[in-house]
Homo-oligomer: A and B are copies of this chain.
Amino acid sequence: MSDESYEALRPDTLAERLGAIDAIRKRVGDPASWQVREVGDGNLNLVFIIDGAAGSVIVKQALPYVRLVGEAWPLPLRRAFFEYNALVRQAARDPGAVPELFHFDEAQAMVVMEFLSPHVILRKSLMEGRRHPDLGAVLGRFCARTLFRGSDLSMKTAQRKADLALFAGNVELCDITENLVFSDPYFAAEMNHHTPGLDPIVARLRADIDLKIAAQHMKAAFANNAETLLHGDLHTGSVMVSDSETRVIDPEFATYGPMGFDIGMLIANFLMAYYAQPGHAEAPGARADYQEWILSVVDEIWATFSDEFTRLWRSERTGILYQASLFEDQGHGFGAEQARIERLAAIWRDTLGFCGIEMHRRTLSLAHIAEYDQIADEASRAACEARGLVLGRALAVGRANFNGMAEVLGLARQINGEDYL
């Protein structure tokens, strides 16, 4: 991959540079009609919308550094290559779940894809107190289908190993996860920042041996246990929603890792949105029903994941693991069911472990979440964040002990009624 010809796009040069590409012209119309806006609000990339006579597309281009930090933190352009490859696989494994792809330019680190409208980023919608039908079902199904179908439960093993090798090249993005998610929250890392009122609880967490061991246990699982192709950054900022549709975007952190990682990170972001609600309420208590709706989405994510995983286990278990020749073909179909329950239990434990760690890092490490950040009153913000930290600790350390999602949600509710500062 050569970066020599790479040049960052600008709204004013975009028509000139991309106007000759048929796949784009076909979707947008004559370049003379193009209106270009830069709308990137993420941490890493340039994102443009091209509106034209025939329609609109999104152009996403990697920058050679972390946008959030600047040129002092270089980041390879080839993450666009991994994002493109992940999108292709996700589209095949859960059709309709990700934006349609129109064009990929490896040298320009650029993906041109479907412009989703009137969709908004789910995180924003959760701050506004909006509800979306089937949200948990679509996300749970996305996890089950992409995670199952990218694993040795389903794929030809030679193809899985080739993909493992391919995505092993996404080193720098994995490195971000490995540091910012699993380690930085638990010591005074340089780029950390947190709401000042949290100081006492942060000191307790950093002195908590069992928690730090749990975080490193989950880090080892993330770094080593290459079960399946992960989205790698499946939070509520990587989901776009409308009143009728849910789509998943931005898999540039894609890597092979454990199944529980995507689900755990996703659930963590809902649980943080849950704790953030008092900070966004129109009046005290006004978001109580909405908070319950958020918990119902979490419940639906796991229930749908579990159901769809079970369906795929029974109908698509064509990989090298738990072969039918050992179970169903010997009249031991119940053995395959016992094995399924064991696998789901392992994914459940991992899910809770990753969930707890994600709740910590989004409060203590470099990249925070808008739900918390946009609570202007510092004391209210700290109170909300503290609840998330307490639940995160309980989930990460106690991950082997939760007997179903009702127990997790019950604990979340109980913590929501407490003040930890």
Contact = CB atoms under 8 A, between A and B. Distances in A.
A222 to B, nearest CB: 10
A69 interface: no
Oligomeric state, in number of copies? 2
A300 interface: no
A278 to B, nearest CB: 32
Interface string A310-354: 000000000011110111011010110011001000000000000
A144 B146 CA distance: 36
Of A166, A216, A327, chain B has the most CB atoms within 10 Å of the CB of A216
A187 B329 contact: yes
A80 interface: no
A411 interface: no
Given A206-B330, A213-B339, A224 B152 contact: yes
A147 to B, nearest CB: 12
A227 interface: yes
A140 to B, nearest CB: 22
Contacts of A189: 325
Given A171-B157, A171-B158, A174-B161, A187 B223 contact: no
A354 to B, nearest CB: 16
A30 to B, nearest CB: 44
A14 to B, nearest CB: 34
Given A161-B168, A162-B168, A212-B327, A320 B207 contact: no
Given A171-B157, A224-B225, A320-B219, A187 B325 contact: yes
B335 A213 contact: yes
Contact of A321 (B219, B226, B322, B334): B219
Contact of A178 (B168, B209, B219, B320): B320
A169 interface: yes
Interface in A162-208: 162, 164-166, 168-169, 171, 174-175, 178-179, 183, 186-187, 189, 206-207
Contacts of A186: 326
Of A178, A213, A323, A327, chain B has the most CB atoms within 10 Å of the CB of A213
18 contacts: A151-B224, A152-B223, A157-B174, A157-B175, A157-B178, A161-B168, A162-B168, A164-B164, A164-B226, A179-B320, A187-B325, A207-B332, A209-B332, A212-B327, A212-B339, A213-B339, A215-B326, A216-B322
Given A213-B322, A223-B320, 14 more contacts: A152-B220, A157-B171, A157-B174, A161-B168, A161-B171, A164-B165, A165-B165, A187-B325, A187-B326, A187-B330, A207-B332, A213-B335, A219-B320, A219-B321
